[in-house]
Amino acid sequence: MMRTIKRISQFFILNVRLTFDTLFTYKAATILTFCTNIFIVLIYLFLWKGIYGEQTIVNGYTLKELLLFIILLRVLRRSYPFHISKTYGQLIKNGSIATWLLKPIPIELRLLSQAIGQTIYQFCFSGLPMLLLVPLFANIPNFTFVSAALFLLWYISAFIFLYIFEIIIGVISYYTTSLWGVGNFKSALIAFFTGELLPLSFYPVALLGFLEVLPFSAVYYLPISILLSKVVENAWIIFSILWLSIILLLGVYLSISQKMIKRISVQGG
């Protein structure tokens, strides 16, 4: 048992590093990604500066607080495993899924190690450069050990939630045979429910009350609110909902993935 755990751990760490090194090999792509993300953040920042105009506070946010919120949101956007459903779907589309299922390391762990490797890469070459914009447009928040620890707790929990959500979308693409359609629907769903395009506090009050109790609010809104020292009512209730959602999604994934594996076995012989 211990030898198996050790072997899986060694593979996991190796695959994380391999994913990072593979992505870093494409230096031209790294430079283009860096430039693209900086331009996107600048567009958001200039847009919100124009919206605020002479106003000092909108929906409880000063201009500098909102600009900091936007920068941190884009950093988190690059740090979550949003690409996993596409990777899973491609494995299904090209038939590689059968080979991956035969390997001793579970496909979920292989994809998770890739997700972590890509997250580290994205944070180093997209997230950190975007954080350098903070002193130019916003005030550097006063982090405390408690706020940093709470942020990390929320981030890890949201990462797990999104990872399971992504692999479910990947399995669904097996049944729909449409990577493009499912992927676009997923992206639109996440953008709306997480407040990726507009902070949740800017939504209508009736809609905000509904969105705040969904696990998606833990992706951007709650972790960043903690860093900005914003009071979020019922935060720990939402945290409980988040982990309950993780457990339910895991059950859904195990159910539909087992059915997919059976169908692959029957069709493949």
Cα–Cα nearest to 85, from 173, 23, 159: 173
> Is residue 178 scored above 80 in pLDDT?
no
Q: What does the pLDDT look like over 92-121, one tens digit per residue?
A: 777 787 788 777 788 889 999 999 999 999
Query: Between residues 207 and 181, which one has the greater pLDDT?
Result: 207
pLDDT cut 70: percent of the chain above it: 97
**DSSP string covering 29-70, please?**
HHHHHHHHHHHHHHHHHHHHHHHHTT-SEETTEEHHHHHHHH
What pLDDT does 269 receive?
Answer: 45
Q: Tell me the domain boundaries of the chain.
A: 2-268
Tell me if 40 sits within 8 A of 131, measured CB to CB. Answer: no
> 145-176 vs 84-93: helix axis angle to the nearest 10?
20
Q: What does the pLDDT look like over 217-253, one tens digit per residue?
A: 899 988 998 888 887 778 888 899 999 999 999 999 9
